[in-house]
Structure 1
Amino acid sequence: MTTTTPASAPRWRALLALVAALALGFTSTPALAADEVRLLKAVSTVSSRYGQSWQDVTYTLVVKNLAYEKFVYIQQKQPDSSWVLLPAYYVGPAGNGFEVWKVTKQYQSWGTDPQPSRDLEFVARFVVGGTSYWDNNGGANYLLGRNDGPLLRTNVLVDSSFWRDNGDLDVSVDVKNLAYAKNLTVVYTTDGWATSHEAAASYVSGYTYGYAYIQSPNVQGVERWQAHLPAISGNVLLFYVRYEVNGQTYWDSNFGYNYQHIHAAP
C-alpha cells in the first residue's frame, strides 16, 4: 500500500525541531563562545521592482562540530523590540572539525501579512550537549542596516562566481577596507595544481545585489572586488583568493577545500 505524506509534514517536523531546540535552550547553561560559534558574514539588502519592495537577509555561521545533535540559530531583534529565533541549516564542512551553517530570511511588503524592512540587531547562538554558546560581538550585539549589504567578520571572502556564455568566469570578492592600497588576486588551476594561473581583481565602486544597489565600500567598511578569468581549457577549475594589504597576506581558500567550478559546456 502506498501512503501519501501531507504537504504540511515538513513544516510540522521543522516546528517540532524548533520546539525541541527552544526547550533545550531554556535548560542549557549559557557560555560566551571561544570558537564554538562565530559569525562569518551577514548580508541585508532591500530590493524594489514593479512597485513592490522586499528585504533579503542572509547569515553565515561557523560552528564547532561538538556533537551530531546540535541547534544553530540567529537570535534577532524584531521591530517591536521582541526577539525571535531563526533556525540555521547545515551547508557543509569548514575543515578542522568545523561546519558552515546558514540562515536566510525574506521580509515582503505585499501579501496578507506584509512585513516592513528593518535594521538588524542580532547574535549567534549554538546549543549542544546542554550548553548554549553565544557570539554577541563582545557584548555589543551585531548591528546591520537594512540595505548595508555585507558585514564581514573575516578579512576576505568570496561572495559569488559565475560562468559567462563565452566560457569566461567572473569572481566577486568582499574584503575589509583595511587600507587604501591593496592587491587582490584569484589563483586558479585546471589541472589539479600541476600548473596555476593568476588573475588580478579590480575594485568595484557599486554593484547590484538582486534588485538592490550597494555602495562600495559600504558603511560596514566592506569593499567589492571582481576578477575576470578568461575562457580556459579543462573540465574542472579550482581557485582561491589572495588579499595583500598593510604588508600582510590574507587568504580565502574555502576552508582549505578551494572553490570549484565545472567548466561550462561549449
Structure 2
Amino acid sequence: MTTNRLSLLSRWRAALCVLAGLTVGLSSASALAADEVKLLKAVSTVGTRYGQTWQDVTYFVVVKNLAYEKQVAIHDKQPDGTWTDLAASYAGDAGAGLELWKVTRQYQSWGTTPQPTRDLEFVAKFTVNGQTYWDNNGGANYHLGRADGPLLPRANVLVGTSYWQPTGDVDIGIDVKNLSYSKNVTVVYSTDGWATSHQVAATFTSGYSVGYSYVSSPNAQGVERWQARIPAGTGTPAYYVRYEVNGQTYWDSNFGYNYPPIYPPL
C-alpha cells in the first residue's frame, strides 16, 4: 500500500514538473498572438495540363512591425505528420505599424504517382525580439482543401486579382464571404488622383479559372468570387472595394493605400 502511494506520488510530481516546464517555455519564448500576427488569406489551387498535376499555394500574413529583424513563417503540416516552417518574405506596408508578408509554394508532380497534392493544415508564426507569436485559429489550426481556392479567416472582402487588358480595361476579381444571398459589391475608382471618382458594380460568378486551375464559387470555405471591370480611360486607375450585406458595409482599400491596376504583389 505504501509502495503504491509513493509510486503514485512520484508520478504526480513528474507530471507537475513537465507541466511547469511547458508553462515556463510558453511564457518566456512563445505566446498565442493577440494582434502581433494574423493570417490574412490563404489560397490553394490544383492545376492540370498535358497529364501533369501541380498545386499552387499562397499565404498572406500581417504582423506588427515590432523590430527590423524578424522571422515570419507558415508552420505547415507535412503528409508524413511532421511540421515544417515555410519562410515568408516581405510584401509591403500594411499601414498602422503593420507589415504584409507572403509565402508561395508550388508542388509539382511531373508524372509521379501518387500526385503530391494535399489538403492543408497550418498556423502562422512570427518571431521577433526573442519571442515567438502564433496565430493557430483559436487552437483549431487552419485547414484548406487542396483545390478550395481562397480562405478568408478575418476579412469579409478582399481583392483577389486585377490585371490590365489589351483594351486598356482593368479586370478585378473580388473575394467576399457569403454572409447573405442579397449583397452588393462595388468598385470605386479614380483616374485623376481622386479629384473625381466613379463606381462600377461587380457581378457574381459561379466559378473561375486561375491559370490551369478551376475554383468553384462559393467554395468550400464560403467565399464567393465577384468580377468587375474598370473601363479604359485617361490616367492610371486607383480603386477600392465596397461590400454591402445585411445592413453592414465592409471595405477593402488595400490597408488605406487603395489598389493599383496590377495585383497581387509579386
TM-score normalized by the length of structure 2:
0.86
**Contact persistence 2:157–2:250 (CA under 8 A):** yes
Q: How far 1:28 moved relative to its partner?
A: 6.4
| Contact kept in structure 1, 2:172 and 2:227, CA below 8 Å | yes
| Contact map agreement 2:185 2:244 (CA 8 A) in 1 | yes
Aligned to 1:231: 232
Alignment match, 1:145: 145
| Partner Cα separation in structure 1 for residue 184 and residue 116 of structure 2 | 39
- Structure 2: how far apart are the matches of 1:143 and 1:81? 14
Q: Please say if residues 108 and 114 of structure 1, whose CA atoms lie closer than 8 Å, have aligned partners that are also in contact.
A: no
Can you list the C-alpha shifts for 1:4-58, whole angstroms capped at 9, x where unaligned?
xxxxxxxxxxxxxxxxxxxxx9996111101100000000111000010000000
Matches of 2:238 and 2:230 in 1, distance apart? Answer: 12
In 1, Cα distance between equivalents of 2:176 and 2:72 = 26
Counterpart residue number, 1:34: 34
SS in 1 for 2:168: coil
Matches of 1:212 and 1:138 in 2, distance apart?
Answer: 31
Cα 1:113–1:95, aligned 2, differ >3 Å: closer, same or farther?
farther
- Encode CA deviations 1:81-109: one digit per residue, 9 max, x unaligned: 11011000000100000000000011111
Q: Whole-Å Cα distance in 1 between the matches of residues 80 and 243 of structure 2?
A: 41
2:191 paired residue number: 190
Name which of structure 1's ranges 95-104 and 159-168 shifts more when overlaid on structure 2: 159-168
The alpha carbon displacement at 1:130 in A equals: 1.1
Paired position in structure 2 for 1:43 = 43
Q: Is contact 1:238–1:261 with CA below 8 Å preserved after alignment?
A: yes
Match of 1:171 in 2: 172
Aligned to 1:181: 182
- Is 1:73 aligned to residue 80 of structure 2? no
Cα distance in structure 2, aligned partners of 1:142 and 1:173: 22
Report the CA distance between 1:249 and its aligned residue.
0.3
Judged with a 3 Å threshold, the aligned counterparts in structure 2 of structure 1 residues 248 and 49 are, in CA distance, closer, same or farther, namely: same
Q: Describe how 1:248-259 pairs up with structure 2 within 5 A.
A: 248-259=248-259
CA deviation vs aligned residue, 1:112-152 (integer Å, no higher than 9, x gap)? 99861111000000000111100000000000011111001
* Contact in 1 for aligned 2:53/2:115 (Cα 8 Å): no
Aligned identity (percent) is 70
Question: Relative to structure 1, is the Cα distance of residues 54 and 192 closer, same or farther in structure 2, using a 3 angstrom cutoff?
Answer: same
Partner of 1:161: 162
Distance 2:47 2:165 in 1: 24
Is 2:228 aligned against 1:209? no
SS in 2 for 1:260: coil
Task: Tell me if the contact between 2:174 and 2:226 (Cα under 8 Å) persists in the aligned partners.
Answer: yes
* CA–CA distance in structure 2, aligned partners of residues 84 and 114 of structure 1: 21
Q: For the residues of structure 1 that align with 2:26 and 2:179, how far apart are their CA atoms?
A: 40
Q: In structure 1, how many angstroms separate the alpha carbons of the residues matched to 2:112 and 2:215?
A: 29
Q: 1:219 to 1:112 in 2, by over 3 A?
A: closer
Tell me by how many angstroms 1:76 deviates: 0.5
Per-residue deviation, 1:261: 3.1
SS at match of 2:237: strand
Larger gyration radius, structure 1 or structure 2 = 2
RMSD: 1.9
- Show the counterpart of 2:110: 110
Q: Report the counterpart of residue 54 of structure 1 in structure 2.
A: 54
Unmatched segments (≥5 aa) in structure 1: 1-24
